[in-house]
A and B are shown apart, each in its own frame.
Chain A
Amino acid sequence: SYVLTQPPSVSVAPGQTASITCRGPNIGSQSVHWYQQKPGQAPVLIIYDDGDRPSGTPERFSGSKSGNTATLTISRVEAGDEADFFCQVWDTNADFFGTGTKVTVL
């Protein structure tokens, strides 16, 4: 089974920058997508194709990739950014989600 590894939790103070990594053996050759899920709500796509933002995603959210690691960066973190974040890739006729990262705003 294909595993995408994320840190379980990230804590950040308001106004600071949070970085969430997603590691997988083939990520360098795949498109990575990111979702934000707040408690009691459905996940929302915030980054697709490694670093593109859907309309509605604030510019504070950005995505990048280097080697076998994709990174979601949240700049100028706000209290409302507190949520679970998941990366996702398509590989060999199946979709895979990362293990998930809970972002806590201090």
Chain B
Amino acid sequence: QLHLQESGSGLVKPSQTLSLTCAVSGDFIRSRTYSWSWIRRPPGKGLEWVGFISPSGSTFYNPSLKRRLTISVDRSQNQFSLKLTSVTAADTAVYFCAGVSGDWFDPWGQGALVTVSS
């Protein structure tokens, strides 16, 4: 069964880079049957799609974040990553990683709170 687990820095200073990793159980990354996505939820707000990477390595990003965002896969480590540069307080959120088969997100990781503050 597919399980996902986020890890990374919980506190990032403004203008610096937010980095998160999502560990994927089993052989699901190497099997190339899923796309891998990031979604976030800022405090007091709703869900916001961040972006995803397809089995072929193509990336699709939220246009509002595209200029600052990189999503990549490391098949040797069974994980995928998010890097968001030049962060501001508006990037403070719980970040979720998720698997994508079809057009929907399932399953989700438990989430990682990232706070942007000096």
Contacting residues of chain A (88-103) with chain B, CB-CB under 8 angstroms: 88-90, 93-100
Which of B52, B103, B110 is the one whose CB lies under 8 Å from A33?
B103
B109 at the interface (CB under 8 A from A): yes
With beta carbons under 8 angstroms apart, the residue of B46, B52, B103, B109 that contacts A97 is: B46
A45 and B104 form a contact (CB under 8 A): yes
Distance from B36 Cβ to chain A, minimum over Cβ atoms (Å)? 13
A96 x B49 contact (CB < 8 A) = yes
Residue of B nearest to A98 (CB): B46
In the assembled complex, the Cα of A49 lies from the Cα of B104 at a distance in Å of 8
Judge whether B96 and A86 touch: CB under 8 Å.
no
Main secondary structure of the interface of B (DSSP, over half): strand
CA distance A31 to B104 in the complex (A): 9
A94 touches B63 (CB 8 A): yes
A37 CA to B46 CA in the complex, in Å? 10
Given A42-B96, A42-B110, A43-B96: A97 in contact with B104 (beta carbons within 8 A): no
B105 sits at the interface (CB 8 A): yes
Q: How far is the CA of A89 from the CA of B104 in the complex (A)?
A: 8
Taking A43-B96, A93-B60 as given, write out 19 further A-B residue pairs in contact, using a Cβ cutoff of 8 Å, ordered by the A residue number: A31-B103, A33-B103, A37-B41, A37-B47, A42-B110, A43-B39, A43-B47, A43-B105, A44-B108, A48-B103, A49-B104, A86-B46, A86-B47, A95-B37, A95-B49, A95-B52, A95-B103, A97-B47, A100-B46
Q: What are 18 A-B contacts with C-beta separation under 8 Å? A: A31-B102, A31-B103, A37-B41, A37-B47, A42-B96, A42-B109, A42-B110, A43-B108, A48-B106, A84-B46, A86-B47, A94-B60, A94-B63, A95-B49, A95-B52, A97-B46, A97-B49, A99-B46
